[in-house]
């Protein structure tokens, strides 16, 4: 155990000399010096996200980061939301996908302004991509910005985009144990949308078990059950949205 850096794992602690700890161990032997750094590895991302958040706050824009596995129904859910609510609220959308403009084209068909971000090899949106997309999109004061992240239950959870809320979606065809398998995503979200409830009769999925698993990971998580296809349950989501976005 090294005092200066506190490194605990002596096995991986390789120096080019015998290391018997008889001398004062402060890492400054043999002309070497240990410099404390203490910098967050994602601090570039986090700082940029904070700047974007400040921009949103100044313009009273409510930004929501929507995450799920590929195909849980994020775009379908957004399409319905926009069609049914665009008369009541100003919406703007950022679509994140590794490739193609397909989701942006679907959103565009609703008449709502959208920017597609292609992340290429990256499996998540990051603060830089969103910051640039926001400049392109130039959302109006007082609007709601919906950000559809790349379909992936792991990586997006690590990247703050400057959002005010995080929504994780799971569909009933994915299994009740998603929260236990991907705790990071569920721990950092404040709302969980359970989608494709129209398929409940055909799958071995009990909503109460999924909710119980979600609460094990994050006791403050809220749940809403919807079918983006049939529209069932969407009213509750609209209430949540209008209540949170003022």
Partner 1 sequence: MHELTVAENIINIVATEAGKAGSDMVSEVCLEIGLLAGIEYEALDFALEVLAPGTVMDSAAITIEKPGAAAKCNNCGCEFSFETFMGSCPDCGSADLAIVRGNELRVKSITI
Ligand X SMILES: Nc1nc2c(ncn2[C@@H]2O[C@H](COP(=O)(O)OP(=O)(O)OP(=O)(O)O)[C@@H](O)[C@H]2O)c(=O)[nH]1
Residues that bind partner 1 (CB under 8 A): 2, 4-9, 12-15, 27, 32-42, 44-45, 122-124, 126, 154-155, 157-159, 180, 183-184, 187, 215-220
| Per-residue x/- track, 192-231, ligand X (CB under 6 A) | ---xx-xx---------------------------xxx--
Smallest distance from the beta carbon of 129 to ligand X, in angstroms? 16
Site for ligand X in 83-112 (CB under 6 A): 103
Q: Tell me the β-bridge partners of 169.
A: 68, 193
Cβ-closest position to ligand X: 151
Tell whether residue 65 is a contact of ligand X (CB under 6 A): no
Q: For residue 202, what are the CA distances in angstroms to 171, 173, 176, 197?
A: 13, 9, 14, 10
Residue 39 interface partner, choices ligand X, Mg ion, partner 1, none, CB cut-off 5-8 Å depending on type: partner 1
68 forms part of the interface with ligand X (CB under 6 A):
yes
Residue among 56 and 95 whose Cβ is closer to ligand X: 95
Residue 65 found at the interface with Mg ion (CB under 5 A): no
Residues within window 131-170 making contact with ligand X, judged by CB under 6 A: 151
User: Judged by CB, which is closer to partner 1: 9, or 204?
Assistant: 9
Q: Are 167 and 244 in contact (CB under 8 A)?
A: no
User: Could you give the CA distance from residue 213 to residue 32 in angstroms, rounded to a whole number?
Assistant: 50
Q: Which C-beta is closer to ligand X: that of 171 or that of 218?
A: 171
* Dmax (CA) of the chain: 75
Alpha-carbon gap, residue 146 to 29, rounded angstroms: 55
75 binds ligand X (CB under 6 A): yes
Q: Which of 63, 245, 49, 95 minimizes the C-alpha distance to 164?
A: 63
- Restricted to residues 97-136, the positions that interact with Mg ion (CB under 5 A) are 103
Distance CA 39, CA 26 (A): 21
End-to-end CA distance of the chain: 53
Side-chain-side CA neighbours of 128 within 13 Å: the count stands at 7
CA distance 123 to 205: 28
Establish if 116 lies at the interface with ligand X (CB under 6 A): no
Taking the complex as a whole, how short is the minimal distance between the CB of residue 87 and ligand X, in angstroms? 22
Characterize the bridge pairing of strands 114-118 and 165-171.
unpaired
Indicate the residue among 18 and 40 with the shorter CB distance to partner 1: 40
**Residue linked to tokens 């313009």:** 59
Q: Which residues bind ligand X (CB under 6 A)?
A: 68, 70-76, 103, 151, 195-196, 198-199, 227-229
Q: Which residues bind Mg ion (CB under 5 A)?
A: 74-75, 103
């Amino acid at each position: 155990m090294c005092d200066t850096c506190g490194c605990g794992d002596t096995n991986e602690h390789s120096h080019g000399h015998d290391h018997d700890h008889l001398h004062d161990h402060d890492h400054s032997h043999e002309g070497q010096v240990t410099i404390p750094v203490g910098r967050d590895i994602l601090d570039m991302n986090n700082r940029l996200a904070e700047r974007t958040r400040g921009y949103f706050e100044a313009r009273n824009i409510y930004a929501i980061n929507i995450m799920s596995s590929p195909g849980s129904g994020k775009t379908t859910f957004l399409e319905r939301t926009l069609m049914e609510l665009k008369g009541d609220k100003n919406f703007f959308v950022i679509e994140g996908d590794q490739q193609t403009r397909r989701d942006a084209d679907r959103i565009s068909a609703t008449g709502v302004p959208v920017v597609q971000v292609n992340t290429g090899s990256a499996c998540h949106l990051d603060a830089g991509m969103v910051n640039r997309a926001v400049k392109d999109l130039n959302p109006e004061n007082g609007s709601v910005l919906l950000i559809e992240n790349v379909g992936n239950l792991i990586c997006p959870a690590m990247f703050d985009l400057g959002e005010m809320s995080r929504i994780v979606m799971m569909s009933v065809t994915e299994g009740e144990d998603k929260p236990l398998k991907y705790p990071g995503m569920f721990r950092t979200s404040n709302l969980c949308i359970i989608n494709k409830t129209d398929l409940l009769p055909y799958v071995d999925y009990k909503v109460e078990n999924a909710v119980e698993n979600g609460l094990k990971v994050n006791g403050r998580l809220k749940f809403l059950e919807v079918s983006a296809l049939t529209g069932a349950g969407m009213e509750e989501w609209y209430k949540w949205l209008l209540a949170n976005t003022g």
